[in-house]
Homo-oligomer: A and B are copies of this chain.
């Protein structure tokens, strides 16, 4: 195991100089730096992260907390953030809550992040009061992606869920639909999302703007998964007088809805139109109309803001009007993508 002393000896300098040269500090002469780098190269020296962290007081690590990495949105975010962090020289400490209360408690306690990371990215993870207090006590920089809670001082990057849902619903209204169902997440989901609340609001807003009354019998709560969409749609059909269109709160639910409809002998879109939110990898394959949201961009921008020593004010996406109150979230745009799953209702 070659250590810094070996490099110092070979280069004929002190360990302090090796440390400075290797980290690219400006206070090293070009000639010295060259000698140090050559020595380090020759000895295949790699700094010991533990020693460096202990002495330097920085961990060089960012915690990324996601509900479930196997879900489309979270997978994309992690992939993007991982790439960016590693390029910036940071390690990524992954925490996948996995819907298990036990894991959630393990992760979201002070002790588990303290002294272990320099910063925290919370993806769609709402916090309970005690968790919020614990995180705030860490006094670490953090960023929120997509939704969850507001942590004082932590920037947030997300889409406008209300607007996205409104656009989806309006697309169905524009096609002529009037009996529009909504299937969405459940407050009792172990993962405790809040996203579905905003999306339901957008759905209801759009209906009201069109002069329609939201019909509770057309609004079914389930899980944010394929299976959840499947079951919600089955429940919907069980209630009789099926809708002519379904707005699913995410693409995975929409896929489950398409299956349930097919299993019930209904065709999409001839009998029932379906639209989701996300633009999941498979949306194109399935011909699913959707509201595309920029998952990678949310992760990337969040990571940049997190690492930006200036606090990220200079990293806002172009085109965003200045003058927002400090602390307001960065909202990234969504986009209606019309595919084969939505069409006008059959002739009345």
Contacts and interface: CB of A to CB of B under 8 A. Distances in A.
Contacts of A100: 83
Interface in A185-227: 226
Interface stretch (A86-94, A123-131, A151-159, A317-325): A86-94
A98 interface: yes
Contact of A282 (B47, B83, B103, B226): B226
Given A51-B54, A93-B93, A111-B44, A79 B68 contact: yes
A44 to B, nearest CB: 7
**Among A92, A106, A282, residue most surrounded by chain B Cβ atoms (within 10 Å):** A282
Nearest to A93: B91
B83 A103 contact: yes
Nearest to A96: B82
A255 interface: yes
Interface in A40-59: 44, 46-51, 53-54, 59
A48 B44 contact: no
Contacts of A59: 49-50
A32 interface: no
A78 to B, nearest CB: 6
A69 interface: yes
Contacts of A256: 285
B285 A255 contact: yes
A346 interface: no
Interface in A247-291: 255-256, 258-259, 281-282, 284-286
13 contacts: A1-B115, A48-B54, A49-B53, A49-B59, A49-B116, A50-B59, A54-B54, A70-B75, A82-B95, A82-B96, A83-B96, A91-B116, A93-B93
Interface of A: 1, 44, 46-51, 53-54, 59, 68-70, 72, 75-76, 78-79, 82-83, 86, 91-96, 98, 100, 103, 106, 110-112, 114-116, 226, 230, 255-256, 258-259, 281-282, 284-286
Given A47-B115, A68-B79, A256-B285, 10 more contacts: A48-B54, A50-B50, A50-B115, A69-B82, A82-B94, A83-B96, A86-B106, A92-B94, A226-B281, A259-B286
